[in-house]
């Protein structure tokens, strides 16, 4: 069987991570052209390709196992996130939802200071500012590794919130987390504050 020579390019890039339209235009065009073949190719490995053409990204997920299929070992590892990294991811997703509702721009850029201000109200009081910023910088670094933030080149401490975050944090999960965060903020507030 002859395959399109670009199929190997597409599958290899998909196996390495998220493919972005703006970052890998050649691979993106080949993926859209060869999506059926690429789906078939990764399907034998128990994977599927999720493509969001509107937002411009594609990634691999484990395919739900059918009743008559033999169990395959997972190729896409699940990652366990710390509370603070989960919190930061949720806050970034919320900021992106607010940004989309109020803007026609496509790129949400946040400074480190804006991220620190968002997260710091949920951290226990008592830490020095320098220690707090160090902790949040560590969390930001982890979120960059996950691909939900990208450092903006040519700027100091500015980050773009990547739209793929929408594929992993949906509106229902965000709503439930918002309720939990309100409760958590009430618990952290001094006595009497934060009560409605």
pLDDT tens across 83-117, in order? 888 889 989 998 998 999 998 888 999 999 999 99
155 domain residue, yes or no? yes
DSSP per-residue string spanning 124-175: PTT--HHHHHHHHHHHHHHHHHHTSEEEPTTSSSEEEE-TTHHHHS-HHHHH
Question: The domain spanning residue 113 has which CATH number?
Answer: 1.10.10.10
Residues 57 and 101 in one domain: no
Tokens of residue 67, six digits: 């009743």
Residues 90 and 180 in one domain: yes
Residues 91 and 184 in one domain: yes
Instruction: Give percent above pLDDT 70 in the chain.
Output: 87
pLDDT of residue 1: 58
pLDDT of residue 186: 73
Residue 165 clears pLDDT 60, i.e. is over it: yes
pLDDT of residue 196: 40
Q: 108-155, pLDDT tens digit by residue?
A: 999 999 999 988 877 776 667 788 888 889 999 999 998 899 999 888
Contact 180, 188 (CB under 8 A): no
Neighbouring C-beta atoms of residue 191, cutoff 10 Å: 6
pLDDT of residue 129: 76
pLDDT of residue 195: 44
């Amino acid at each position: 069987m002859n395959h399109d020579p670009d199929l190997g390019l597409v599958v290899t890039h998909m196996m390495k991570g998220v493919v972005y339209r703006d970052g890998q235009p050649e691979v993106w065009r080949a993926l859209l052209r060869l999506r059926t073949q690429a789906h078939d190719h990764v399907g034998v490995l128990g994977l599927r390709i999720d493509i969001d053409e509107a937002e411009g990204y594609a990634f691999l997920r484990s395919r739900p196992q059918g009743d008559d299929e033999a169990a395959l070992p997972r190729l896409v590892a699940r990652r366990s996130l710390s509370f603070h990294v989960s919190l930061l991811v949720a806050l970034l997703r919320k900021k992106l939802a607010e940004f989309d509702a109020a803007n026609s721009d496509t790129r949400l850029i946040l400074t480190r200071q804006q991220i620190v201000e968002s997260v710091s109200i949920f951290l226990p009081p008592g830490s020095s500012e320098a220690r707090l910023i160090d902790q949040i910088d560590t969390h930001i670094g982890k979120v960059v590794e996950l691909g939900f933030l990208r450092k903006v080149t040519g700027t100091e401490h500015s980050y773009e919130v990547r739209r793929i975050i929408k594929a992993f944090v949906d509106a229902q999960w965000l709503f439930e987390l918002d309720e939990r965060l309100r409760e958590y903020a009430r618990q952290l507030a001094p006595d009497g504050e934060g009560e409605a």
